[in-house]
């Protein structure tokens, strides 16, 4: 196989989307597995995409958090074609999307646990003035020990997510699109909070809150339709858990959680009172 910078051996493809391909690689110097994200060939001559790809690496590299995929190295290879790549921590497991598809809705305790981890990751990013802008289960990796790691940072700044002419990867994001972004506005920290709320809904129910014929019709639902109740699908979900979804996905940013710290605060206690009421937690006779 191909070797980048005389160091990183490319083993096999493990994923990819609109902008990049991701490979399992081997770092021959440190003798460890790595993930290598490479800008797709068709964009290797497009300055705008190259710039965006570099920016992605730069914004992630400034972050150091157990629930954010670590960046190890970036590089450009001058072959006959230019290869732009990011070397990162290899997460052995699957995406949260695959996890939900494979196991169905997460039990409330597990969903709350994953939600705590990803909210902590986004808190760290926001403290560093970085807005993720593309929070979705496809960009959250779950390793074999149940650790959640957020990846794919800082992309799509210049892209309008609502445009029907966008690539599939951008269309995919419309399911997690905040009302203010659906309206064509720029993403703010609270837009990440909205996306987190949709991801929480999806973990709890195994489904998306809004679906439709087109990206535009889904974007309109984010703007206009009430977030459906988690209880409709999972009748025994505690109201306290449901409330986190509702407060994170408030249409008006002023009614939404002020910041990620508030979500973390609620998540810390969300299962405590109701758990005591549940039969399985009542003391033995
Ligand atoms: P873009 O949205 O910029 O086009 P992308 O969405 O294709 O890029 P990523 O989301 O970073 O790129 O990665 C694509 C897929 O590759 C992920 O959904 C996941 O399946 C896999 N993947 C990415 N990074 C890692 C990693 N560090 N370890 C293991 N698998 C990874
Ligand atoms: Mg992605
Ligand atoms: Mg991406």
Q: Which residue has the tokens 């064509």?
A: 184
Q: Which two tokens stand for residue 144?
A: 């074999």
Q: Express each pLDDT in 193-209 by its tens digit.
A: 999 999 999 999 999 99
Q: Which segments within 17-91 are labelled E, that is strand?
A: 20-27, 32-39, 71-78, 82-89
The terminus-to-terminus CA distance of the chain in angstroms comes to 64
Whether 109 has a pLDDT exceeding 80, the answer reads yes
Q: Which two tokens stand for residue 143?
A: 């390793």
Burial 137-148 (b: 16+ CB within 10 A, else e): bbbbbbeeeeeb
Are the CB atoms for 88 and 37 separated by under 8 Å? yes
Report percent pLDDT > 90 for the chain.
69
Question: Does 39 contact ligand 1 (Cβ within 6 A)?
Answer: no
Q: In this structure, how many other beta carbons lie within 10 angstroms of the beta carbon of residue 3?
A: 13
Whether 167 has a pLDDT exceeding 70, the answer reads no
The model's confidence at residue 166, banded by pLDDT at 50, 70 and 90, is very low
Among the ranges given (138-152, 159-173, 188-202, 243-257), the one the predictor scored with the smallest mean pLDDT: 159-173
Q: Which residue has the tokens 């703010």?
A: 188
Ligand 1 atom closest to residue 152's alpha carbon, by position in its atom list = 11
Question: Does 19 contact ligand 1 (Cβ within 6 A)?
Answer: yes
Among the ranges 68-72, 150-154, 169-173, which has the highest mean pLDDT value? 68-72
The residue to mutate among 14, 15, 25, 42, having the most atoms of ligand 1 within 8 angstroms of its beta carbon, is 15
Q: Express each pLDDT in 21-78 by its tens digit.
A: 999 999 999 999 999 999 998 888 888 888 888 888 888 888 999 999 999 999 998 8
Please compute the mean of the pLDDT values over residues 154-161 and round it to a whole number.
Answer: 41
> Is the model more confident about 179 or about 284?
179
DSSP element (H, E) containing 115? helix 108-127
Q: Which residues surround ligand 2, an ion (CB under 5 A)?
A: 17, 139, 152
Are the CB atoms for 89 and 95 separated by under 8 Å? no
Q: Which two tokens stand for residue 128?
A: 């560093």
Residue nearest to atom 6 of ligand 1 (CA): 17
Sign of CA dihedral 184, 187, 191, 196: positive
Q: Which two tokens stand for residue 123?
A: 């808190």
Question: Does 86 contact ligand 1 (Cβ within 6 A)?
Answer: no
Check if 143 is active-site: no
Taking the C-alpha atoms of residue 49 and residue 14, their distance in angstroms, rounded to an integer, is 21
Q: Which two tokens stand for residue 18?
A: 């609109």
Ligand 1 atom closest to residue 95's alpha carbon, by position in its atom list = 20
Taking the C-alpha atoms of residue 103 and residue 107, their distance in angstroms, rounded to an integer, is 10
pLDDT of residue 165: 35
Q: Is 224 helix (H, G, I), strand (E, B) or coil?
A: helix
Ligand 1 atom closest to residue 167's alpha carbon, by position in its atom list = 4
pLDDT of residue 157: 43
Q: Which two tokens stand for residue 235?
A: 């009748």
Give Cα 64 to chain centroid, integer Å: 16
Q: Which residue has the tokens 């609502």?
A: 162
pLDDT of residue 189: 92
Residue nearest to atom 11 of ligand 1 (CA): 152
Whether 280 has a pLDDT exceeding 60, the answer reads no
Mean per-residue pLDDT over the chain, rounded: 88
User: Considering 27, 79, 134, 236, which one is annotated as catalytic?
Assistant: 134
> Is the model more confident about 187 or about 211?
211
Whether 84 has a pLDDT exceeding 80, the answer reads yes
């Amino acid at each position: 196989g191909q070797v980048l910078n005389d160091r990183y051996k490319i083993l096999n493809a493990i994923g990819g989307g609109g902008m990049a391909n991701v490979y399992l690689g081997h770092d021959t110097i440190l003798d460890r597995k790595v993930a290598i994200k490479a800008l797709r060939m068709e964009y290797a001559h497009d300055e705008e995409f190259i710039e965006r790809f570099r920016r992605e690496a730069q914004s992630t590299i400034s972050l150091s958090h157990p629930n954010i995929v670590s960046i190890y190295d970036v590089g450009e290879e001058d072959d006959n074609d230019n290869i732009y790549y990011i070397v990162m921590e290899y997460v052995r497991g699957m995406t949260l999307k695959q996890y939900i598809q494979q196991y169905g809705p997460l039990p409330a305790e597990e969903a709350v646990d994953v939600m705590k981890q990803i909210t902590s990751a986004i808190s760290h990013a926001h403290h560093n003035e970085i807005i993720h802008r593309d929070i979705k289960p496809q960009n959250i990796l779950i390793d074999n020990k149940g650790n959640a790691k957020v990846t794919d940072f800082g992309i799509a700044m210049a892209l309008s997510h609502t445009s029907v002419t966008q690539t599939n990867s951008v269309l995919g994001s419309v399911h997690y699109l905040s009302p203010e972004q659906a309206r064509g506005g720029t993403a703010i920290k609270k837009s990440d909070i909205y996306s987190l709320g949709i991801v929480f809904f999806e973990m709890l129910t195994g489904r998306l809150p809004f679906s439709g014929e087109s990206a535009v019709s889904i974007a309109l639902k984010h703007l206009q339709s009430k977030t459906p109740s988690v209880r409709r699908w999972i009748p025994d979900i505690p109201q306290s858990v449901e409330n986190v979804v509702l407060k994170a996905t408030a249409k008006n940013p002023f009614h939404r959680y002020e910041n990620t710290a508030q979500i973390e605060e609620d998540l810390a206690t969300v299962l405590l009172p109701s758990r005591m009421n549940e039969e399985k937690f009542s003391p033995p006779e």
